[in-house]
Structure 1
Amino acid sequence: MNSEFYQSPKSSKFMRLFWKAAGADRFILERSTYGDQIKYVCLGGIIIATGVMAAIAGGYAFYTIFAPKGNAIDSFKAVEGIASNYDPTHIPTALISIVFGLIWGAIIFNIDRFIVTSTGKGDGTEAITRKELVGALPRIIMGAIIALTISKPVEIRMFKTEIDVALHAKQIKQEQAYKSEIEKVANGEIEKKQSIIREQLNRIARLDSISTVRKADIAYENSHGGCSLKCAEFKNQLASNQAEVTAIKSDPEFIKVKKELESLETDKLNKLKESGKVAAGLDGLLERIKLAHEEAGWVISLFVTLLFMTIELTPIFFKLMLIKSTYDYMEENIKELIKADKGIEIQHNFYPDGEGIERDLVINHQVIRVLKEKIKLLEAQSTLSNEAIDAWKDKKQNDINNNPEAYLSEE
């Protein structure tokens, strides 16, 4: 707007970007006061900031969920700058998280933009009436839900160091509990197999002990006059013992039990090696949110959430508190001009409905004009058609009068 008493400031690309985010009309704002321009710059700035925060929070949450799990203390070392072989960033997951974060930020940005632009300006005063609050309630609820989804990932990032230490302690407990359970289950089966094998080995040991004594007896007999009949008996007993030992060792049941024992011990070792992976499974988004509440306390967690809810809901309350300004009157004027140009007339509080509420009467003059033209056209076509039929009828009547034989046939 340019006049003797006021000249509207020129808008920059930066201002126009924020106006667009706020859903404001650039045409009107460029002809409005500086105060109106700044109002919508601030409103658009909050909406864009919310979208950016949502993108960061969504990307971080996605990374936390899908990144390879590990020992929380390694993550703690990375945060504190302690030397370790741990790589804090998994590049493939990070790239996917960036893409997801951008998509999520765009979704939240557009939802916020819709919520703000669809929220009315109230009654044009600073006061927020009960009626205005009730009307804005669905948008307030949606905004609160969005604030919660943004605040939780940011919260676990804020308290990451404390969460990593607490999570590491929990992982150790989980690993120990897992190992104890594996030991308890596996050792029972292993003990049964070892008992069977021990019984057979004791038999072999007894036979070997007897064989050793008999070998000594044979050696003694040979050194004292040669091997007699008793020596032959000792040799027979040695051969019998050796045959029994061989039979025990080659027994299919004994071999089967030994293999089962080896398999149980191998399986036990493999499961014990996986205890670290089981403990690392605790490093998830839900567990970190729980630990954030435990470590930070419900008061701090509540205030972090309230902070984001304030940021998210500010544009809604801001619009309800806006005082009618030049922008609003110009917007209404342009809307009325457009309605007039399109032949739309609204007669306010024209008739009561079934519940006694006054309703507006909307008259679409262009529609009425077209409808009248169409009715006139159809009426004219109907009249012309009737005249044509009457003329055709008269002509045929004359033909019949002049030459009736042409219309009759004798069989």
Structure 2
Amino acid sequence: MTMEEMGRALRYTAAYRPLLDTPELQTLRQLLDGLAAEDGEGAAEAYAKLFYLLRQGGYHSLGDWLYDRLRDESSPYAQLMERGGQDLELEKTARRELELFRTLAQTDWGTELAKLEPTAELPRWMAECPFTVESLTDFYRTHGSGLFARCRAFLWEDGELFPVEDPDCPGPEEMLGYELQRDQVIANTRAMLEGKAVNNVLLYGDSGTGKSATVKSLLSLPGFERLRLIEVQKEGLADMPRLIRTLSGRQLKFILFIDDLAFDQDDKTYSVMKTILEGGLEKRPANVAIYATSNRRHLVRQTFSDRAGDEVDASETIQEKTSLAERFGLRIPYLALNQGEFLELVERMAALYGVEMDKQQLRTGAIRWEMRHPGRTPRTAKQFIASLHLNNKE
């Protein structure tokens, strides 16, 4: 393919049209035009500018830059592959353009330029391409594109998705205790990844027992690469139906995570949550599940006046307020440990974090710590272990 032919093909890019607006490809077009017109000086200037732009972005080759942009760009072809759809004309166009990008990446522009400007001392970059059409297509099918290809954890705030580049996701080795509870959560999530119908999940119980950590740790499990976690604040529940619609039909699986969920008596978002979980006309997509944590089993705060008021159907009102939790198909209790379980957890955690101490001394210290910090939970155990590290440093 000649320089003129490559320049013409690049100008006619359709499936990946937005890439033409980037400074890198605008400069590449200038380089192609200069080489086609045998304008050595103009081509050399464009070449030098392109080298600068690539290095400024941290790239050592045009191929590496293209690979990142093709994955990050939420193109029509990427969306089609992610959703498992079919559009023969779009597929043909996109594949032709991807082959063009491969040719551009593999072209030794320094050698081409040397034919016109043999005395020009210009920097070089590698003429290589890190992707094929099939590997990039497989990437779209597995990881999607755009935000969902770059990150696996997100915040839903003010009706927008914000990527979390470095989420706080504990690894499996850090999750000690409550194995039976976590196994239920993992099994439900694995079933969703396998395309099966699953339940929404409510993890309820004492504070510090690891409910939130259980959900966040799902992202660190092997084989769960197609899982995305979106944390939704209670204030954002009203916008959740709109978010769910945007996720429908994708090959990726999404957990909408609501941490520390609880409602007051007259909370307006209560009815919204009921509709989202079950009962609305709009069906929840099979690739979306809602996982919530709460310190309250029934989610809705009750007062004695609820039971002693003058309402005729007070019992029905109470039942209505406590029915929300029942709309979660899987309800998993996280209760405080007994003393034996707590001490066993402390020992395991001490081994994990490299604490060397006499077993009886460790247990005695843990009991004293727990008496001053009520709650036999993983959080209390971790705080105790951290205190031992601090004392050792002192």
| Between structures 1 and 2, the one with greater helix share | 1
Q: Which structure is larger by alpha-carbon Rg, 1 or 2?
A: 1
TM-score normalised per structure 1: 0.22
| Between structures 1 and 2, the one with greater strand share | 2
TM-score normalised per structure 2: 0.22
Q: Which fold has the larger relative contact order, with Cα–Cα distance below 8 Å and residues 6 or more apart in sequence?
A: 1
